[in-house]
């Protein structure tokens, strides 16, 4: 029996009623920041001292979802929802404490051997469970235990404090690959207690860094609660097959209550059949095939302030596929005709998401305004999902699955974007949905967005990348320059083993040359100066445009991206407006007297690096709308949405049946 989920996919009607729904949201949502907006902002990938982060688990929540200034210093970022997403494996630090490196008053690195048996924040850890893992100050707690006994209880504690949606998740160290964002929300109900047992079980069974051979023991016996773990097949092709088993496990047991989103997918280069790194397009196809309602996209790289003189934003070195980031995204997302377009060209439910990958501020402490490494969740990146009337963890998962979401860096646009299409007076279709048309129909595409008055940047000096072309734009007040509408033909799903299913990949900038969908193109480029402009309360600006496409006999999709960078800006965008390799940004000098001291220099001249680079080179991405001619076969995105609906109906019927008995 599946836990109930009344809202599986956001429909066009429910999206158009989002403002009304938000107005009548029940009291569970009274602390939510964006009640009056159709979307709410969150972060699903971040770290604390349970693994390799610098701050306590509770502190990461406080700074991310709290309002105003933090008690110990620094700003909070008022997210609406937040998923703790630590690595799998183990850790020796008690994550109720921040590390000394975070430079937070009263907080110092604390290991489990110092705190066993003590009650701290209402939590008592009497022993480190499972297979013994290290001794003394290096004694480690397995992640499944910290999920169950540390992070989830902290979520339960923090939920009534903030009235925000808090979720226990995981950055899965996937067998055969790099990292994947996962959440299993089954059992999680922090307003009433609940548990994160299913999240913990997935981590124990399938994370390649978790080599515990015991797991939890049934109370009053010596029997393992989770027997049958494979602790062998963790690398290369065998590891990929184990990863697929993990996805199948989620699809079978938690098809509507989980997600699987590979992250910083280009960072370690192509897949290594004998190692544990990278992804090629066939692996994403395998994931989506194995988990049609749980494996539905990839995530941007995070680590947005790491860029130096030779690149490094996102922790992407020259060996990454693409050789680095492009407009703060990996090449799989940034390249028109690249891997994302290849997946969409099959009509797959394959969407794009963004998160912070917060660990630390590098040369700065957690309270400092600058960073040479990461941004706190909500500070720089925001993942927007639909704002249901009764917003919950299920709303987050449903919203991500639906594709009706968009990703924004540096608050270039706000929580009220509209991106939709219709034909012949039919209902509007939103991101992730499919519009069925007759060949020759005019498809009307409408887009609206609000450019906020300012963002969270601590810098008010002018953007040095834009000063090259005579534009004076403060870093804390980015303005939208243009929006690209990118289209590509949908030619059908490629079967496993068929020609083109597996595509040879390449590391470095050679990987940027691979085209997966040659029909993808920038079909419309709309300058902000050509959009209808409406000033809101004297501060923000509402922009709107409408355009049309003529439907043909072949299905296609339309996706959107926007930026503050004009077409052909030296060292930033090419003549078509595509982002170039971000390492090129460092060729531009930061000459303003307010340029911070932590920037990297050449012959004593500061260059556009680290957080100044991130605040300068700003983009947003909106997920696609699909268009299909009448009478043609349903696209896979439709088939998988239908599957989710059927699973939801089955769950509702089971739930009603249980109540009748």
Is the same domain home to 193 and 259?
Answer: yes
What per-residue confidence (pLDDT) applies to 480?
98
Is the same domain home to 609 and 511?
Answer: yes
Residue 4 lies in a domain: no
CA distance 288 to 281: 11
Q: Quickly list DSSP for 598-616.
A: TS-EETTEEBS-HHHHHHH
Strand-pair partners of 560: 485, 622
Residue 583 lies in a domain: yes
What per-residue confidence (pLDDT) applies to 7?
27
Is the same domain home to 143 and 253?
Answer: yes
Is the same domain home to 375 and 512?
Answer: no
Q: In terms of residue numbers, what domain contains 141?
A: 37-218+225-263+355-409
Residue 189 lies in a domain: yes
Residue 155 lies in a domain: yes
Is the same domain home to 110 and 87?
Answer: yes
Is the same domain home to 399 and 475?
Answer: no
The number of folded domains in the chain is: 2
Q: How many CB atoms lie within 10 A of CB 633?
A: 12
Q: How many CB atoms lie within 10 A of CB 657?
A: 10
Residue 149 lies in a domain: yes
Picking from 409, 439, 474, the residue at the C-terminal end of a domain is: 409
Picking from 409, 431, 453, the residue at the C-terminal end of a domain is: 409
Q: Among candidates 372, 239, 356, which has minimal Cα distance to 305?
A: 372
Is the same domain home to 485 and 361?
Answer: no
Is the same domain home to 91 and 173?
Answer: yes
Is the same domain home to 374 and 463?
Answer: no
What per-residue confidence (pLDDT) applies to 11?
27
324: tokens are 């680095």
Report the phi/psi class of residue 604: left, alpha or beta, with left for phi > 0 and alpha for psi in -120 to 50. left
What per-residue confidence (pLDDT) applies to 34?
53
Residue 630 lies in a domain: yes
CA distance 267 to 333: 13
CA distance 54 to 374: 11
Picking from 390, 409, 428, the residue at the C-terminal end of a domain is: 409
Residue 281 lies in a domain: no
What per-residue confidence (pLDDT) applies to 354?
98
Q: What is the longest distance spanned by two Cα atoms in the chain?
A: 78
Taking each helix axis as running N to C, give the angle between helix 236-253 and helix 197-206, from 0 to 180 degrees, rounded to the nearest 10: 160
Is the same domain home to 485 and 574?
Answer: yes
Residue 341 lies in a domain: no
What per-residue confidence (pLDDT) applies to 12?
28
First to last CA, the chain: 15
343: tokens are 């997946």
What per-residue confidence (pLDDT) applies to 389?
78
pLDDT beneath 70, residues of the chain:
1-35, 654-661
Contact 380, 475 (CB under 8 A): no
Is the same domain home to 106 and 251?
Answer: yes
Is the same domain home to 68 and 210?
Answer: yes
Q: Is the pTM of this model over 0.85?
A: yes
């Amino acid at each position: 029996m599946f836990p109930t989920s009344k809202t599986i996919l956001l429909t066009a009607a429910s999206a158009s009623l989002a403002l009304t729904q938000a107005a009548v949201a029940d009291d569970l949502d009274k602390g939510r920041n964006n009640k009056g907006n159709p979307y709410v902002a969150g972060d699903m990938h971040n770290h604390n001292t349970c693994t390799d982060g610098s701050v306590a688990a509770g502190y990461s929540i406080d700074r991310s979802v709290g309002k105003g200034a933090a008690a110990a210093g620094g700003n909070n970022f008022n997210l609406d929802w937040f998923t703790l997403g630590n690595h799998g494996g183990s850790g020796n630090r008690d994550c109720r404490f921040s590390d000394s490196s975070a430079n937070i008053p009263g907080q110092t690195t604390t290991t489990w051997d110092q705190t066993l048996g003590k009650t701290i924040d209402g939590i008592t850890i009497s022993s480190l469970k499972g297979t013994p893992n290290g001794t003394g100050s290096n004694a480690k707690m397995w992640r499944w235990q910290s999920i169950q006994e540390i992070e989830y209880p902290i979520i339960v504690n923090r939920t009534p404090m903030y009235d925000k949606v808090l979720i226990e998740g995981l950055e899965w160290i996937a067998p055969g690959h790099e990292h994947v964002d996962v959440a299993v929300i089954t059992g999680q109900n922090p307003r009433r207690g609940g548990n994160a047992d299913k999240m913990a079980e997935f981590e124990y069974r399938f994370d390649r860094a978790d080599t515990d051979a015991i797991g939890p023991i049934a109370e009053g016996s010596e029997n393992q609660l989770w027997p049958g773990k494979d602790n062998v097949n963790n690398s290369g092709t065998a590891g990929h097959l184990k990863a697929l088993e993990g996805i199948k496990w989620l699809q079978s047991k938690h098809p509507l209550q989980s997600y699987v989103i590979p992250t910083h997918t280009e960072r370690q280069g192509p897949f290594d059949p004998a190692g544990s790194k990278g992804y090629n397009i066939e692996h994403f196809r395998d994931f989506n095939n194995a988990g049609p309602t749980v494996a539905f996209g990839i995530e941007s790289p995070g680590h947005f302030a790491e860029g130096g003189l030779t690149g490094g934003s996102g922790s992407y070195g020259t060996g990454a596929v693409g050789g680095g980031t492009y407009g703060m995204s990996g090449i799989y997302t940034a390249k028109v005709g690249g891997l994302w377009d290849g997946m969409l060209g099959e009509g797959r439910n394959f969407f794009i998401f963004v998160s912070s990958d917060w660990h630390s501020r590098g040369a700065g402490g957690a309270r400092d305004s600058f960073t040479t490494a990461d941004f706190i969740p909500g500070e720089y990146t925001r993942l927007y999902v639909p704002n249901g009337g009764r917003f919950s963890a299920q709303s987050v998962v449903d919203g991500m699955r639906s594709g009706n979401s968009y990703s924004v860096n540096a608050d270039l646009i706000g929580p009220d974007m509209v991106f939709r299409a219709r034909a012949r007076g039919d209902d509007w279709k939103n991101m992730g949905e499919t519009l069925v048309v007759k060949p020759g129909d005019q498809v009307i595409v409408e887009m609206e967005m609000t450019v906020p008055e300012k963002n969270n940047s601590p810098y008010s000096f002018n953007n040095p990348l834009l000063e090259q072309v005579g534009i004076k734009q403060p870093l804390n007040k980015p303005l939208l320059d243009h929006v690209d509408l990118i289209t590509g033909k949908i030619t059908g799903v490629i079967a496993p083993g068929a020609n083109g299913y597996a595509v040879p990949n390449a590391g470095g900038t050679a990987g940027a040359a691979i085209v997966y969908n040659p029909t993808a193109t920038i079909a419309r480029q709309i300058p902000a100066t050509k959009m209808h402009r409406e000033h809101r309360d004297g501060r923000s600006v509402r922009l709107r445009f409408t355009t049309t496409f003529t439907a043909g006999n072949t299905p296609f999709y339309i996706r959107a991206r926007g930026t503050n960078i004009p077409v052909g800006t030296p060292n930033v965008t090419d003549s078509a407006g595509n982002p170039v390799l971000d390492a090129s940004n460092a060729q531009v000098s930061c000459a303003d007297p307010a340029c911070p001291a932590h920037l990297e220099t050449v012959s004593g001249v500061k260059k556009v690096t680290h957080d100044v680079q991130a605040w300068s080179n700003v983009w947003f991405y909106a997920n696609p709308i699909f268009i299909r001619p009448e009478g043609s076969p349903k696209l896979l995105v439709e088939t998988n949405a239908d599957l989710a609906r059927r699973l939801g109906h089955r769950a509702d019927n089971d739930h009603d049946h249980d109540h009748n008995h």
